[in-house]
C-alpha cells in the first residue's frame, strides 16, 4: 500500500516528515510517486504564520476531491495545525480520517491501520511529557545523503508574545547526550558528512538529570563532545539558537572547533528595544549586538543570518528604522523576514494587529532591499577566493554542475569536471562569479578529508 506525505513549513517539519516516512515504511507501506496513487495521504502542517494554515485549507479542498474518487484512502493531518486544532479539524473537514500531533508520530502506522479496518476518525494530539520520545531519522538507503538533522530538544519554554510554538510543541524536553551521540555516529557511518542539531531553542539544551542548568553552557559542552567522539564528522551546525543562551562558552566553541561552520543563524526579530520588550524576547538591542559582534570575531570568516518580523503591533516607523540600523550594524548576510501574523493563544493578540497591511508590505520590501545589498556585498567579496565546499547534490538545472555549501553556508554551483562523482566530498573551490543569492566556482586541486579537529584549548570534561 502506498503513502504520500506533503510537508508545509520549517526544517523541524521536514524532519518530522522523514520520521513519518520511517514509521510507515517500517510498517510495510511504500512511498507513492503522486498523491493520486496513494492509499494514505498525510499533510504535515505548520502554524507559525497564517499563510501555512491557508495552504492547509486549500490542500484539504484538494483532498476532498481525492476522497470523492477514492473513498478508501486514509487522509491525515499532522504537525502544528493538527496539534492546535485537534478534534475541531475533524468537525471542520468531515472527509478527514486522522489528526495527529508531532509527539504522536510513532503511532501513525497503528492509527492508519485502525482507520483501514473501518474504525472511526481519530484525533491523537497528546504531548509525551512523561516519557519524551525522540524518534531517530536514519540516513536514506535510497539516496545518498550528505547532510542530516538530529533533534536534541523539543518544545519551547520561551513565551515570545507572537509565537504559537509553545502551544503546539509543548514545554521543553531534552534528549540525553548519549542518545544524540549514538544517532550522529550512526548517520556518519551511513555516509552523512554534515549534521545539523535541531531544536526550537537548540542552545537551551541541557543534560536532564544534571543538577542545575547553571550557566546554560551545557550546549557548548555537547558540541565539544560531538567533535571529540565523532572525528569523521565534517560539519556540525545547529539551529535555531536563542540569543539569550549564546554564552561565552558557546562563542569560544566557535574559535576552538573547526567542525563548526563559520555561520550562525541567530533570530533577532526586531532592532527596537520597545518592540523587543513587547515581544518578550528577554534581551535588548545592545545585548544582541554585543553577542553578535563577539560571535563574528570568534572566526575570521564568520557570518550571521537572522529572522525578523515586521509590523509587530505598535511598531512605528522609528522602531522599524531601528531594525534597519541593527541589520547594517551586525552586517547579516541573509535574513528570513516575515510580516507579523496574529496567532491563536499568543499574548500579542491583546495588542491587536494595528500596523496596516500596506505598511507591513512596504517595510518588508525595504528590508529585503537592504538584505539583498548586504548579501550581494558578502558574496561579491568572495569572488577570487578559494572556499572549502561540501558537495551536496547534482545541480537541478540539468547541467553538469554540482551544488554545495561553503563554510558560511552560502550556496555554490560548482564545475567539478573531470571529477565524475564529487557528492559528499569537501572540495577547494575557486569562486568565479557572484549571483544574487549564490555563487559559481571551479573545483581546484584534490579533495581532502574532514578538517582536522583544531583544538587550541584544553577540552572540558565529557558531558
Alpha carbons 35 and 5: distance in angstroms, whole number: 8
- The helix (H) or strand (E) run that includes residue 387 is strand 386-394
Residue ranges in 159-178 that form contacts with ligand 5AD under rule CB under 6 A: 162-163
- First CA to last CA across the chain, in angstroms? 44
Please say which residue, 3 or 340, places its beta carbon nearer to ligand 5AD. Answer: 340
What angle, 0 to 180 degrees and rounded to 10, lies between the N-to-C axes of helices 317-330 and 285-296?
A: 20
Sign of the four-CA dihedral 285, 287, 290, 294: negative
Site string for ligand 5AD, 213-252 (x = CB under 6 A): ----------------------------------------
Per CB under 6 A, the segment of 215-223, 334-342, 352-360, 375-383 that binds ligand 5AD is 334-342
What angle, 0 to 180 degrees and rounded to 10, lies between the N-to-C axes of helices 218-229 and 248-256?
A: 20
**Member of 341, 374, 387, 388 binding ligand 5AD (CB under 6 A):** 341
What are the φ and ψ backbone dihedral angles of 27, each rounded to 5 degrees? -85, 5
Residue 416 and residue 402 in contact, taking contact as beta carbons nearer than 8 Å? yes
Residue ranges in 254-313 that form contacts with ligand 5AD under rule CB under 6 A: 267, 269, 307, 309
Q: What sections of 171-284 are H helices per DSSP? A: 177-189, 218-229, 248-256, 273-279
Please say which residue, 247 or 269, places its beta carbon nearer to ligand 5AD. Answer: 269
Distance of CA 165 to the CA centre of its chain: 13
3 state DSSP class of 193: coil
3 state DSSP class of 127: coil
Please say which residue, 109 or 308, places its beta carbon nearer to ligand 5AD. Answer: 308
Please say which residue, 267 or 271, places its beta carbon nearer to ligand 5AD. Answer: 267
Residue ranges in 199-218 that form contacts with ligand 5AD under rule CB under 6 A: none
CB-CB neighbours of 214 under 10 Å: 10
Q: How wide is the angle at C-alpha 13 spanned by C-alphas 8 and 14, nearest 5°?
A: 85
Per CB under 6 A, the segment of 17-25, 52-60, 115-123, 336-344 that binds ligand 5AD is 336-344
Please say which residue, 173 or 360, places its beta carbon nearer to ligand 5AD. Answer: 360
Per CB under 6 A, the segment of 289-297, 340-348, 403-411, 448-456 that binds ligand 5AD is 340-348
Please say which residue, 121 or 267, places its beta carbon nearer to ligand 5AD. Answer: 267
Please say which residue, 307 or 428, places its beta carbon nearer to ligand 5AD. Answer: 307
Residue ranges in 26-85 that form contacts with ligand 5AD under rule CB under 6 A: 48-49
Tell me, by CB under 6 A, how many residues bind ligand 5AD.
Answer: 12
Q: For binding to ligand 5AD (CB under 6 A), which residues are involved? A: 48-49, 162-163, 267, 269, 307, 309, 338, 340-341, 343
Amino acid at each position: 500500500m502506498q503513502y504520500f506525505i506533503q510537508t508545509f513549513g520549517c526544517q523541524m517539519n521536514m524532519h518530522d516528515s522523514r520520521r513519518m516516512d520511517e514509521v510507515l515504511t517500517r510498517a510495510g507501506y511504500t512511498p507513492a510517486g503522486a498523491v493520486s496513487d496513494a492509499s494514505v495521504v498525510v499533510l504535515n502542517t505548520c502554524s507559525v504564520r497564517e499563510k501555512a494554515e491557508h495552504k492547509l485549507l486549500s490542500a484539504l479542498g484538494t483532498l476532498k476531491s481525492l476522497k470523492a474518487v477514492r473513498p478508501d484512502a486514509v487522509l491525515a493531518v499532522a504537525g502544528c495545525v493538527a496539534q492546535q486544532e485537534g478534534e475541531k479539524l475533524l468537525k471542520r473537514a468531515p472527509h478527514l480520517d486522522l489528526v495527529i500531533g508531532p509527539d504522536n508520530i510513532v503511532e501513525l502506522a497503528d492509527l492508519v491501520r485502525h482507520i483501514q479496518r473501518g474504525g472511526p476518525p481519530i484525533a491523537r494530539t497528546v504531548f509525551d511529557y512523561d516519557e519524551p520520545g525522540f524518534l531517530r531519522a536514519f540516513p536514506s538507503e535510497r539516496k545518498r545523503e550528505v547532510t542530516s538533522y538530529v533533534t536534541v530538544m523539543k518544545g519551547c519554554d520561551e513565551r515570545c508574545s507572537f509565537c504559537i510554538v509553545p502551544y503546539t510543541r509543548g514545554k521543553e524536553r531534552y534528549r540525553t547526550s548519549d542518545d544524540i551521540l549514538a544517532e550522529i555516529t550512526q548517520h556518519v557511518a551511513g555516509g552523512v558528512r554534515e549534521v545539523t542539531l535541531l531544536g526550537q531553542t537548540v542552545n537551551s539544551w541541557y543534560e536532564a538529570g544534571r543538577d542545575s542548568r547553571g550557566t546554560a553552557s551545557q550546549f557548548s559542552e555537547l558540541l565539544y563532545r560531538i567533535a571529540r567522539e565523532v572525528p569523521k564528522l565534517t560539519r556540525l551546525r545547529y539551529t535555531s539558537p536563542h540569543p539569550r543562551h549564546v554564552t561565552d562558552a558557546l562563542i569560544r566553541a566557535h574559535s576552538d572547533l573547526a567542525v563548526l561552520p563559520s555561520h550562525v543563524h541567530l533570530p533577532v526579530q526586531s532592532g527596537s528595544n520597545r518592540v523587543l520588550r513587547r515581544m518578550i524576547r528577554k534581551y535588548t538591542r545592545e545585548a544582541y549586538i554585543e553577542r553578535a559582534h563577539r560571535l563574528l570575531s570568534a572566526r575570521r570568516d564568520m557570518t550571521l543570518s537572522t529572522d525578523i518580523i515586521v509590523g509587530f503591533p505598535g511598531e512605528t516607523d522609528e522602531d522599524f528604522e531601528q531594525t534597519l540600523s541593527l541589520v547594517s550594524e551586525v552586517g547579516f548576510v541573509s535574513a528570513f523576514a516575515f510580516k507579523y501574523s496574529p496567532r491563536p493563544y499568543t499574548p500579542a493578540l491583546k495588542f491587536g494587529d494595528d500596523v496596516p497591511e500596506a505598511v507591513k508590505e512596504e517595510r518588508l520590501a525595504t528590508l529585503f532591499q537592504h538584505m539583498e545589498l548586504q548579501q550581494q556585498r558578502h558574496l561579491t567579496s568572495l569572488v577570487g577566493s578559494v572556499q572549502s565546499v561540501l558537495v551536496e547534490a547534482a545541480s537541478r538545472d540539468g547541467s553538469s554542475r554540482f551544488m554545495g555549501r561553503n563554510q558560511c553556508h552560502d550556496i555554490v554551483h560548482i564545475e567539478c569536471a573531470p571529477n565524475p562523482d564529487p557528492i559528499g566530498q569537501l572540495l577547494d573551490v575557486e569562486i568565479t562569479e557572484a549571483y544574487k543569492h549564490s555563487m559559481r566556482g571551479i573545483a581546484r586541486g584534490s579533495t581532502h578529508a574532514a578538517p582536522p579537529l583544531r583544538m587550541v584549548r584544553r577540552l572540558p570534561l565529557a558531558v
